[in-house]
Amino acid sequence: MLISQRRVWVILALALAAASPALAVDFEGTGRGALRLAVDSNARRDFEQFGTQSDGVVSAIASGRGRLIFPWGVLAGTYDLAAQKFFTLTSEDVLIQSATLALSIPIGGLVAAGVEGRAKDRRGGSRKYTDLAGGAFLLFLPGDGWTVRLAGSGHRFIYPPFFPYSFTAGEASGQVQYRFARRHSVALLGDFGVRWFNAIADVNPAQPPSPNPEQRVDKVFVAGLSYRYQGPFLASAAYSYGNFDSNSFGQSAHRHRLSASLGVRLPWQSTLLAEGVLEFTNYPDRIFVSPEILLIDDQNLNSISIKLARPILSGVDVEVEYAFYHASLPGPEATYKYLRMVGGIGLTARLW
C-alpha cells in the first residue's frame, strides 16, 4: 500500500515536471514497516477496580513520509497505519490511521506561510475516536539560529463511546526555537484553545441545580520549555504546564509534565532508546469525573519506555521493547488507579 502511494507521488511529480519547466519538482520520501509480537498486561486499558486482563497481541505498522519540492514552495505529507490483533480479547482489536498534509510557500527570504491539516482515526476496541484539525501558519527564520512559528487552527474531536466528550475547538499556538551551538538547542512553546463540548456542564452536586443549564466550555492553556542535544548521542528534556479551566464540575485541572529521552549507540551495532514522562496533576474540585478520556493512546500518563534495536539485514532491524504506564485519578467515590505494562519483540524494515 505504501509503495503504491509512493508511485502516485512520483507520477504526479513527473506529470507536473513535464507540463512546464516552471513546474519542475523534486520528490523526497521514506517508508517503514514493522511487525511486533507482545504481551499486554492490561489489554482492555481498564482501571484496576474494574478488573484487568493480560493478553498477547500482534501489531503491524506501516508509515510513509514524503514531500514535493517546487520552485515556489513545498508540499509535505505523512501517513501512518497501525493494526493490533489480540489473541483472546478480539473485542479490543484496533485499526488506527493518521495523516498530515502541509503546504508551505516562502514570502521573501525570511518568512514562509502555509496551510496544514491532520487527521487521526481509531476504530475497534472500547475507545474509538476521530480527531481532525486544520489551519494556517507563519514561519519566521530571522537567522543566527532562531526559528519562530505561529499557527491557528480549528479542531474537531469525536468520541462515539460517549458523545458528550466530543468537542469543537479554536486553537492558537506559538513556538520559538534557538540553536545556540551546533549540537544544542532550546525551544519555548505556548498553546491556547477554547473547546465547546457536546454536553451540558455538570454542576456541583452540593449546590442546587441551575435553572438555565450551560454548555460545557473548557479553556486550555499550555506553556513549555525544552532542550535538545544532538551529538554522539541524542538527548532531550522538557517541562510543560497545562491549565485546563472548565465550567463543568470535576473537569478542571492543573498539570505539570516532565519528560526526558535518550538515544545512544551501544556495542555490536545496537541502539538504545529510552523515554520517561512524569506528571503531577491537581484537580481543584478534588475529583475528576471523566477519567476514561485520559486513557486514549496512553496520553496524560506517567510512563517509561525502553527500546533496544540491532540491524540483522540491510535495512532490517530487530527490536526489543518494554513500556510501563501508570495513573492515579481522584473519582467521585474512590481513586481510579491505572497500571499497564507492555513488552515484546519485533522487526522494522525500511521500505524505500
pLDDT digits (tens, 9 = 90+) for 235-267: 999 999 999 999 999 999 999 999 999 999 999
Positive or negative torsion for Cα 289, 293, 295, 299: negative
- Residue owning grid cell 519528560: 259
pLDDT at position 108, please?
A: 80
Instruction: For strands 55-70 and 73-86, give the pairing.
Output: antiparallel
Asked if pLDDT for residue 334 goes beyond 80, the answer is no
Residues 6+ apart with CB under 8 A from 192: 171, 172, 173, 219, 220, 221, 222
Domain that holds residue 282: 37-55+95-350
Asked if pLDDT for residue 296 goes beyond 80, the answer is no
The whole-chain average pLDDT of the chain stands at: 90
- CATH code at 192? 2.40.160
pLDDT digits (tens, 9 = 90+) for 218-229: 999 999 999 999
Asked if pLDDT for residue 32 goes beyond 60, the answer is yes
Per-residue pLDDT band at 325 (split at 50, 70, 90): very high
Residue 306 lies in a domain: yes
The number of domains in the chain is 1
Q: How far apart are CA 16 and CA 194, in angstroms?
A: 41
Residue 77 lies in a domain: no
Residue 20 lies in a domain: no
pLDDT digits (tens, 9 = 90+) for 125-162: 888 999 999 999 999 998 889 999 999 999 999 999 99
Residue 236 lies in a domain: yes
Task: Report in angstroms the alpha-carbon separations of 94 from 99, 128, 320, 322.
Answer: 17, 8, 22, 20
Residue 169 lies in a domain: yes
Average pLDDT estimate for 78-92: 96
pLDDT at position 309, please?
A: 97
Residue 11 lies in a domain: no
Residue 32 lies in a domain: no
pLDDT at position 13, please?
A: 43
- The amino acid at 192: F
pLDDT at position 187, please?
A: 98
pLDDT at position 23, please?
A: 55
- CB neighbours (10 Å) of residue 83? 16
pLDDT at position 170, please?
A: 98
pTM for this predicted structure? 0.87
DSSP code of 288?
-
Of 78 and 125, more confident? 78
Per-residue pLDDT band at 14 (split at 50, 70, 90): very low
Residues 6+ apart with CB under 8 A from 323: 303, 304, 305, 306, 341, 342, 343
pLDDT at position 295, please?
A: 73
Q: How far apart are CA 326 and CA 341, in angstroms?
A: 9
| Contact indicator for 327, 281 with CB cutoff of 8 Å | no
Residue 274 lies in a domain: yes
Asked if pLDDT for residue 193 goes beyond 90, the answer is yes
Per-residue pLDDT band at 38 (split at 50, 70, 90): very high
Side-chain half-sphere exposure of 131, counting CA atoms within 13 A: 14
